[in-house]
Amino acid sequence: MVDSTVLNLGKTPANTVFKLSWPAIAEQLLTSMASLIDTAMVSSAGAAATASVAINVSTVWLLNGIFTALSAGYMYIVAHSIGEQRIERACDAARESITASALIGLVLMILVELIIAPNFPVWLGGSDEIIPDARSYMHILGFAMVSQAFTVVFSDVIRGAGNTRLPLLANFIGNICNIIGNFLLIFDTRMVTFFDNSYTLWGAGLGVSGAAISTSMSQTVSGVILLMALFLANTPIKLKFKGDYKLKYQTTIRMLRISIPVLIERMTICVGQVILTGIISGAGTIGLAVHQLVNQVESILYLPAYGFATTATTLVGQSLGANNEKKADEFVHIICVANTLMLIGVCIVVFIFAKQIIAILTPNAEVVRLGNIGLKITAATEPFFAISVVMGGICRGSGDVKFPLIVSLVGMWILRLFPAYLLAFTFGFGVIGIEAAIGFDVTLRGFACVLRLKSGKWKLKKA
Comparing C-alpha atoms, which of 355, 397, 374, 394 is closest to residue 258? 397
pTM equals 0.83
Contact 243, 380 (CB under 8 A): no
Distance CA 428, CA 418 (A): 14
CB neighbour burial string for 347-376, b if at least 16 within 10 angstroms, e if fewer: beebeeebeebbbebbebeebbebbbbbbb
- Which of 433, 55, 66 lies closest to 278 in space, CA to CA? 55
Please tell me the predicted confidence (pLDDT) of residue 411: 92
**Calculated CA dihedral for residues 113, 117, 119, 120, nearest 10 degrees:** 130
pLDDT along the chain (463 residues), means of 10: 73 91 86 73 74 81 89 94 92 96 96 92 80 90 94 95 92 90 83 74 83 91 96 92 90 93 84 80 81 82 88 92 91 94 92 93 89 93 93 92 91 91 89 92 94 88 56
CA distance 13 to 30: 26
pLDDT of residue 50: 77
- Taking CA atoms, 143 is separated from 109, 117, 134, 216, 297, in Å, by 6, 11, 15, 8, 27
What's the rounded Cα separation, in Å, for the pair 387 and 407? 12
pLDDT value, residue 127: 77
| 8 A C-beta contact, residue 262 and residue 401 | yes
Amino acid 376: pLDDT: 95
Tell me the C-alpha distance between 302 and 92, whole Å: 33
Q: How is 439-453 classified by DSSP, letter by letter?
A: HHHHHHHHHHHHHHH
Q: What is the pLDDT of residue 460?
A: 64
CB atoms within 10 A of CB 333: 14
Q: Which pLDDT belongs to residue 403?
A: 92
